[in-house]
C-alpha cells in the first residue's frame, strides 16, 4: 500500500518529468535534465523551504529573550507562559520549521531515488503520453560521465554542502554567565553546528563518490539553490531591521 502510494504520488511523477526533460534537452544530456528537474522541484517547494528558513531565523532572533526567561528563576509553568507570550507577540511558531521540513523530506528522497534508480526508463513506469527518450547521454556537458563515480562532482558536492551550512541562520552568541560551564543546550547546539559545517560535507563527498555523478550533481544543484534562499532571507531580514530602526 505504502509502496504504491510512494510510486503514484512521488516516484512516478518525478521519473516521468526526468524522462520528458531528457527528451527535450539538446543531445539528451541527462546531467542538464537532472539540474533542471532539481531546480523545478526546489521552485515548487520554495514557499515551504522559505518559511522553514525564515522560522529558523526568527527563532535565532528570539534566542536572547528565551535565555532571559530561562535564567529568570521563575517556575517552569511561568517560563512556559512567558515563552508562549513571546512567540505570540512575535507571531512565531517554533514547530513550523520542523513541520515544513518533514513535508519536504519525502519529496527530496523521491527525487534522490529517481536519480539513483531512474536513469533507466525501460521499466514500464512511464505515462502513456511520455515517451522513452530517443537519446540518453550520460556524459554531462560532454566531459563528465554521471553514470559513474566522479571525484570532481563529489568534491563540489562537499563544498556546496559546506556553503549551505555556512550561510544557515546562526543563533546569536549567548550572554556571558557566572558559570564557566556551558549548558547542555548550548553545548549540543554548538556541537551540531560544528558537525554540520565541518564533518557533514565529508559525509556528502563520500556518499556522492560512492554512488554516482548524478547524485552528486543533484546535491550540488540543491545546495546552491538553498544557499541562494538563505542569502535572500538574510538580506531581507537586514532590510527589515533597518526599516524598523
CB distance 95 to 103 below 8 Å: no
Which residue would you say has higher pLDDT here, 126 or 88? 126
The total number of structural domains that make up the chain: 1
Which residue would you say has higher pLDDT here, 123 or 160? 160
* Three cell numbers written together for 59: 527563532
Q: How does pLDDT run across 49-70, given as a tens digit for each residue?
A: 777 767 766 666 677 777 777 7
**List of residues 6+ apart from 99 with CB closer than 8 A:** none
Phi, psi of 140 (to 5 degrees): -65, 120
Nearest-angstrom CA–CA distance, 115 and 102: 21
C-alpha atoms less than 13 angstroms from C-alpha of 203 in its C-beta half-sphere: 6
pTM of structure? 0.73
Predicted confidence (pLDDT) at residue 129 exceeds the cutoff of 80: yes
Predicted confidence (pLDDT) at residue 233 exceeds the cutoff of 50: yes
SS3 140: strand
Domain of 54? 2-174+182-244
Strand partners, 145: 139
What is the DSSP pairing of strand 144-145 with strand 139-140?
Answer: antiparallel
Q: How does pLDDT run across 152-167, given as a tens digit for each residue?
A: 999 999 999 888 888 8
Amino acid at each position: 500500500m505504502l509502496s504504491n502510494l510512494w510510486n503514484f504520488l512521488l516516484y512516478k511523477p518525478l521519473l516521468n518529468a526526468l524522462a520528458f526533460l531528457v527528451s527535450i534537452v539538446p543531445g539528451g544530456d541527462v546531467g542538464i535534465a537532472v539540474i533542471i528537474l532539481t531546480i523545478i522541484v526546489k521552485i515548487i517547494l520554495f514557499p515551504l523551504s522559505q518559511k522553514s528558513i525564515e522560522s529558523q531565523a526568527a527563532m535565532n532572533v528570539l534566542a536572547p529573550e528565551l535565555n532571559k526567561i530561562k535564567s529568570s528563576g521563575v517556575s517552569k509553568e511561568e517560563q512556559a507562559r512567558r515563552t508562549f507570550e513571546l512567540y505570540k507577540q512575535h507571531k512565531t511558531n517554533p514547530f513550523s520549521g520542523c513541520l515544513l521540513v518533514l513535508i519536504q523530506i519525502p519529496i527530496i528522497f523521491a527525487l534522490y531515488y529517481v536519480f539513483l534508480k531512474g536513469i533507466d526508463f525501460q521499466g514500464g513506469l512511464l505515462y502513456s503520453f511520455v515517451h522513452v527518450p530517443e537519446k540518453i547521454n550520460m556524459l554531462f556537458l560532454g566531459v563528465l560521465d554521471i553514470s559513474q563515480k566522479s571525484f570532481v562532482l563529489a568534491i563540489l558536492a562537499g563544498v556546496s554542502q559546506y556553503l549551505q551550512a555556512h550561510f544557515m541562520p546562526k543563533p546569536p552568541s549567548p550572554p556571558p554567565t557566572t558559570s564557566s560551564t556551558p549548558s547542555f543546550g548550548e553545548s549540543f547546539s554548538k556541537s551540531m553546528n560544528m558537525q554540520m559545517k565541518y564533518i557533514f560535507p565529508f559525509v556528502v563527498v563520500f556518499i556522492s563518490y560512492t554512488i554516482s555523478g548524478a547524485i552528486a550533481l543533484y546535491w550540488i544543484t540543491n545546495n546552491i539553490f538553498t544557499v541562494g534562499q538563505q542569502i535572500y532571507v538574510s538580506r531581507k531580514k537586514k532590510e527589515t531591521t533597518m526599516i524598523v530602526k
